[in-house]
Amino acid sequence: MIKSLEELDLKEKRVFVRVDFNVPYDAEGKVADDSRITASLPTIRHVLKAGGKLILASHLGRPKGKRDPKYSLMPVAARLSELLEREVTFPEDCIGDAVKKLVGEMREGEVILLENLRFHPEEEANDPIFSERLAGLADIYVNDAFGTLHRAHASTVGMVPLVKDKAAGLLVLKEVQVLSRLLHEPARPFVAILGGAKVSDKLGVIENLLKLVDGLLVGGAMAYTFLKAKGVEVGASLVEDGKLHQAAKLLERAKTKDIRLELPVDHVVARELKAGAEFKTTSGAAIPAGWMGLDVGPKTLEAYEAQILAAKTVLWNGPVGAFETPPFERGTVEIARTLAKSAGMTVVGGGDSLAAVKVAGVGEKIGHLSTGGGATLEFLEGKTLPGLKALETEGAP
Ligand code: AMP
């Protein structure tokens, strides 16, 4: 069983909340997109209202275990302070005597944001001594960083059993609730759209989804590995030759289970992946030599849209084309718009799909925008996420 933050008495307790404040910075070093910060505001506000002393911890980027000002969380502290309209204390480190002293002097309702956990290589190594030092700052451990639950690091796993009490934050609870519903009791028909470049990343998800969905719509570069596995000409499109065998096996499995695994029936193709490149639309699934598939074509879009609109549950992860490079963004933006029109439950995960939802301006009309990339996929693969397992307490509620 996993406790909710709301079940615990937080008054005057030191509440250590692992958040995912891994946000992008702009050229001036300011927070360019604060959606990951705002996603944890419900948890933060709950701790403050309940009279807790709030200690926030996060990673940012990949500083490779070294202090690097480029990856400091200081701009995040500034943005958080604006959002909360209160002071956020920002020490120079996440462990050490100065941090211990600051935490010891905290009063209820105060907020500290620790410096980037990954300035210490011990964080990703899940080092026991580093875990102990973090745990020493807390009476209660809360994880609200859904996007990091698939990693067994000191702040997500190592420190957890060393703190007296533990719970899931409100964001983690919501993610788990929505994604569990997809796994266990989706309203049907349930249709999933998967895109992106790397088939290898998604084979496990496809395999698990084939047990759950009524239809699986494939787009993006990974469709070409499936098409090639079926013997269709794919020209110069991106293909993972090492995965052809597995792709063929999945196609076979879908067929025996009578699940519609749909591949593009036409494509937008060009000779090179370049903004404004000369492009054309193929009339069928085959792609001529020297050309590469860079987006789904209009017939494919029409077919996919009809299935999305007929579904009661829709899951989308991964762009259906090279959407960062115009004009190959059209299919991906159209998919975002179609999801927005759906009357069913819609769930979108993965950085690229979330970006497309933003470009299409339809975020408000999507049922659930999942904050996890890899974590969402691993959850949907049916894997146990180490960070979630660490939150489990024994016994009945
Ligand atoms: P992934 O990291 O596997 O989710 O793939 C995301 C990337 O796939 C994005 O950067 C897209 O531009 C890229 N992508 C999607 N479709 C294509 C395509 N047909 N050709 C080349 N790249 C693509």
**Residues 143-171: pLDDT tens digits?**
999 999 999 999 999 999 999 999 999 99
**CA 217 – CA 73 distance, rounded (Å):** 39
Residue 397 pLDDT grade (very low, low, confident, very high; cuts 50, 70, 90) = very low
pLDDT value, residue 351:
84
Q: Is the dihedral of CA 139, 2, 161, 63 positive or negative?
A: negative
Residue 306: is its pLDDT beyond 70? yes
Residue 201: per-residue pLDDT: 85
Residues of the chain above pLDDT 90, percent:
93
- pLDDT for 215 equals 96
- Average pLDDT across the chain, whole number: 96
Please state whether the peptide bond connecting residue 319 to the residue before it is cis, i.e. omega within 30 degrees of 0. Answer: no
Residue 97 has pLDDT above 50, yes or no: yes
Where does the pLDDT of residue 396 fall: very low under 50, low under 70, confident under 90, or very high at 90 and above? Answer: very low
Q: How far is the CA of 68 from the centre of ligand 1 (A)?
A: 30
Give the model's pLDDT for residue 395.
58
Task: Report whether pLDDT(177) > 60.
Answer: yes
Give the range among 113-117, 333-337, 392-396 with minimum mean pLDDT: 392-396
Closest ligand 1 atom, residue 294 Cα? 19
Does the structure show a pLDDT above 80 at 206? Answer: yes
Q: Is the peptide bond before 189 cis (omega within 30 degrees of 0)?
A: yes
Catalytic residues: 36, 198, 351, 374
Question: CA-to-CA distance for 347 and 179, rounded, in angstroms?
Answer: 8
Q: If pLDDT is split at 50, 70 and 90, which confidence band does 374 have?
A: confident
Of the residues 201, 224, 352, which should be mutated to test ligand 1's pocket, given the most ligand atoms within 8 Å of the CB? 352
Tokens 């958080």, residue located:
80
Half-sphere exposure of 168 (CA within 13 A, CB side): 22
Q: Which ligand 1 atom sits closest to the C-alpha of 318? A: 4
Q: Which domains does the chain possess?
A: 5-172 (3.40.50.1260), 186-380 (3.40.50.1260)
Q: Decide if pLDDT at 131 tops 80.
A: yes
Contacts of 105 (CB under 8 A, 6+ apart): none
Task: Indicate whether 81 pLDDT > 90.
Answer: yes
In this prediction, residues 199-217 reach a mean pLDDT of 92
User: If you take atom 14 of ligand 1, which residue's CA is the nearest one?
Assistant: 322
Residue nearest to atom 1 of ligand 1 (CA): 196
188 — phi, psi (to 5°)?
-110, 155
Pairing between strand 313-317 and 190-194?
Answer: parallel
Distance 368 CA to ligand 1 centre (A): 23
**Which atom of ligand 1 lies at the shortest distance from residue 350's CA?**
4
- Per-residue CA distances from 84 to 64, 107, 299 (Å): 31, 17, 48
pLDDT digits (tens, 9 = 90+) for 215-260: 999 999 999 999 999 999 999 999 999 999 999 999 999 999 999 9
DSSP 158: I
Burial (CB < 10 A; 0-12, 13-18, 19+), residue 165, is middle
* Ligand 1 atom showing the smallest separation from residue 322 Cα: 12
Using alpha carbons only, give the angle 368, 374, 375 rounded to the nearest 5 degrees: 65
The string of pLDDT tens digits covering residues 22-73 is 999 999 999 998 989 999 999 999 999 999 999 999 999 999 999 999 999 9
Ligand 1 centroid, distance to 67 Cα (angstroms): 32
Could you tell me what percent of the chain has a pLDDT over 70? 99
**Centre of ligand 1 from the C-alpha of residue 395, in Å:** 45
Substitution site in 193, 198, 292 for ligand 1 pocket (most atoms within 8 Å of beta carbon): 198
Q: Please list every protein residue whose CB sits less than 6 Å from any atom of ligand 1.
A: 196-198, 201, 220-221, 238, 273, 293-294, 318-319, 321-324, 352
The tokens describing 69, both together, are 């000002």
- CA–CA distance, 201 with 374 (Å, rounded to integer): 9
Mean pLDDT of 257-265: 95
